């Protein structure tokens, strides 16, 4: 029974956690590059240097003393996002959608006082959300206005697109849709939906919610399959370019679609999750092995994107 399952998973080319760590992240992601992707501020600076669009940075709070001035930084902005520079998996992201008198209104409708917001920032600085509890910085940045396409199929938060990039080739993609369960956040382990996306066309395939296959959004009831993601080629280009940016061989690239500004690079992930395989109902291994086998490796971003679109189309 167990061996039968193992054999079928092997046949489907499903990548397991041990194999991902051993064959891919340990082999292709050198340890010294991790700070580039674990620190969102550094990722942002790298992306800006390379001419990629990112959500605009309003301010950075680095030490406890600066927290007093946080309300002045926020003066001109009705909407913004506060997040830890080294948070993992979307933990600690606070989305403010407006003001109520001198207080802040969160996207969930909860009102947060000025001192509560300051305390929240202080928690970020003390490392509550960072990997290993290290002291951290708080980033205050532009709140993405999501593309109307996603209005019907996401609950409150901003959907984002995760593309796994191997040695500069986009190999698998999914779009992550916030739900009521995920509290408006786009991370699968927090309860968001992941819908597989065909690399060749940018159309959504099946979707997975809490390890189960679904076809409709659990909160809105609208279908989540067969949707065309706009700007697909640009998205693939940004993802492929992320490899040149950092040198990370195996990386998850998170991109959001803004109504006005188009695709914005959100963050990179050196240990991208494996649920993307369930969302696509396909294993990663055959695609990764295909890339590893390429003899003459195309160098430009355009060539790599074209190769991926030709060879990695959904069946």
Partner 1 sequence: MGSRHVYVLSFLLTLLGAGLFIYKIVALGFPIVPGEKSDLWDVEVRISFVARGGPVKVSMFIPRTSSRLAVVDENFISRGFGLTTTLVNGNRQAAWAIRKASGAQALYYRSSVQALEPAEEETVAKRPESQPLPSLEGPYLAAAETLLKSAREQSADLDTMVAQLIKHLWEPHNDSNAALLTGPRPDRDRVAEAALQLLALAQVPARLLQGVRLTLPSGEAPMLSWLQVYSEGRWSAFDLGTGEAGLPGDYLIFSIGPEPLFKVKGGNKVHYTIAVRRTEAGGLEAAALRGRIVNPQLLEFSLLSLPMQTQSVYRVLLAVPVGAFLLVIMRNIVGIKTFGTFMPVLIGLAFRETQLLWGLVLFCAVVTLGLSVRFYFERLKLLLVPRLAAVLIVVVLLMAALSIVSHHLGLDRALSVALFPMVIMTMTIERMSIVWEERGPAEAIQQGLGSLVVAALAYLAMAAAYTEHLMFVFPELLLVLLAGSLLLGKYTGYRLVELRRFKALASPRP
Which stretches of the chain bind partner 1, using CB under 8 A? Answer: 2, 5-6, 8-9, 12, 14, 16-19, 22-23, 91, 116, 119, 122-123, 126-128, 133, 189-190, 208, 211-213, 274, 277-278, 281-283
Q: How far is the CB of 150 from partner 1 (least distance, A)?
A: 24
Q: How far is the CB of 221 from partner 1 (least distance, A)?
A: 21
Q: How far is the CB of 207 from partner 1 (least distance, A)?
A: 11
User: 5 or 75, CB closer to partner 1?
Assistant: 5
User: 52 or 282, CB closer to partner 1?
Assistant: 282
Q: How far is the CB of 13 from partner 1 (least distance, A)?
A: 9
Interatomic CA distance for residues 163 and 233, integer angstroms? 12
User: 59 or 127, CB closer to partner 1?
Assistant: 127
Q: Please measure the distance between the N-terminal and C-terminal CA atoms of the chain and give it in whole angstroms.
A: 28
User: 73 or 274, CB closer to partner 1?
Assistant: 274
H-type helices in the chain, by residue range?
2-12, 17-19, 26-28, 34-38, 40-49, 70-73, 114-125, 232-246, 276-280, 285-293, 301-311
DSSP H or E stretch at residue 86 = none
Both structure tokens of 280: 């696509």
Backbone angles phi, psi at 198, to 5 degrees: -70, 125
DSSP annotation of 231 reads T
H-type helices in 176-262, by residue range?
232-246
Q: How far is the CB of 133 from partner 1 (least distance, A)?
A: 7
User: 48 or 128, CB closer to partner 1?
Assistant: 128
């Amino acid at each position: 029974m167990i061996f039968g399952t193992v054999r079928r998973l092997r046949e489907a080319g499903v990548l397991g956690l041990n194999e991902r760590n051993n064959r891919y992240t340990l082999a292709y992601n050198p340890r010294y590059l991790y700070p580039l992707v674990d620190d969102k501020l550094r990722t942002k600076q790298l992306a800006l240097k390379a001419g990629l669009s990112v959500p605009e940075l309003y301010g950075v709070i680095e030490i406890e003393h600066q927290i007093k001035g946080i309300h002045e930084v926020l003066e001109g902005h009705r909407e913004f996002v506060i997040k830890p520079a080294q948070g993992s998996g979307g933990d600690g992201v606070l989305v403010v959608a407006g003001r109520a008198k001198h207080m802040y209104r969160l996207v969930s409708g909860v009102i947060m006082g000025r001192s509560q917001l300051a305390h929240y920032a202080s928690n970020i600085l003390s490392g509550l959300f960072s990997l290993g509890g290290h002291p951290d910085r708080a980033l205050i940045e532009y709140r993405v206005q999501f593309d109307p396409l996603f209005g019907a199929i996401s609950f409150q938060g901003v959907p984002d697109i995760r593309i796994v990039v191997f040695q500069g080739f986009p190999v698998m993609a999914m779009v992550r849709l916030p739900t009521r369960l995920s509290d408006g956040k786009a991370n699968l382990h927090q309860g968001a939906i992941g819908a597989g996306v065909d690399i060749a066309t940018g159309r959504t395939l099946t979707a997975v919610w809490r390890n189960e296959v679904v076809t409709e959004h659990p909160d809105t009831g609208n279908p989540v399959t067969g949707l065309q993601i706009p700007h697909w080629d640009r998205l693939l280009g940004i993802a492929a370019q992320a490899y040149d940016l950092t040198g990370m061989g195996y990386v998850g690239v998170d991109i959001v679609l803004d109504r006005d500004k188009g695709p914005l690079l959100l963050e990179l992930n050196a240990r991208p999750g494996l649920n993307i395989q369930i969302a696509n109902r396909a294993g990663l291994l055959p695609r990764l092995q295909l890339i590893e086998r390429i003899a003459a490796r195309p160098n430009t971003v355009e060539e790599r994107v074209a190769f991926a679109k030709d060879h990695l189309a959904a069946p």
